[in-house]
Amino acid sequence: MTKGKVDALLGIVFGDEGKGKVVDFFTPRYDVVARFAGGPNAGHTIIFDGKKFVLRSIPSGIFDEGKTNIIGNGCVIAPDLFMAEARELEAAGYDIAPRLHISRRAHLILPTHRVLDRAYEAAKGKNKVGTTGKGIGPAYSDKAARVGLRVGDIEENFEEKYRALKERHEQILRDLHYTDYDIAEEEKLWMEGVEYMRRFKLSNTEAEINRALTEGKSVLAEGAQGSLLDIDHGTYPFVSSSSTTAGGVCTGLGVAPNTIDRVFGIFKAYSTRVGSGPFPVELFDETGETLRRIGHEYGAVTGRNRRCGWIDLVALKYAIMINGVTDLVMMKGDVLDEFETIKVCTAYKKGDEVVTEMPYDTEGYEAVYEELPGWQTPLTEIREEKDFPPAFSAYIAYLEKQLAVRISIVSVGPDREATIIR
Chain residues in the site for ligand IMP (CB under 6 A): 14-16, 41-43, 129-132, 134, 136-137, 224-225, 229, 238, 240-241, 274-275
Nearer to ligand IMP, 56 or 104 (CB): 56
Nearer to ligand IMP, 85 or 206 (CB): 85
- CA angle (360 as vertex; 275, 233 as ends), nearest 5: 60
Give min distance, CB of 25 to ligand IMP, in A.
Answer: 19
Give min distance, CB of 370 to ligand IMP, in A.
Answer: 27
Bridge pairing between strands 51-55 and 44-48 = antiparallel
d(C-alpha 390, C-alpha 28), whole Å: 32
Nearer to ligand IMP, 154 or 274 (CB): 274
Of 224, 276, 290, 289, the C-alpha closest to 252 is: 224
Give min distance, CB of 13 to ligand IMP, in A.
Answer: 9
Q: Which residue is nearest to ligand IMP (CB)?
A: 275
Nearer to ligand IMP, 181 or 298 (CB): 298
Give min distance, CB of 16 to ligand IMP, in A.
Answer: 5
Give min distance, CB of 134 to ligand IMP, in A.
Answer: 5
Nearer to ligand IMP, 104 or 134 (CB): 134
Residues annotated as catalytic (active site), given as ranges:
16, 44
- Residue pair 11/266 in contact by the 8 Å Cβ criterion: yes
> Cβ-count burial of 394 within 10 angstroms (0-12 exposed, 13-18 middle, 19+ buried)?
middle
Nearer to ligand IMP, 238 or 395 (CB): 238
Nearer to ligand IMP, 61 or 277 (CB): 277
Give min distance, CB of 267 to ligand IMP, in A.
Answer: 13
Give min distance, CB of 301 to ligand IMP, in A.
Answer: 6
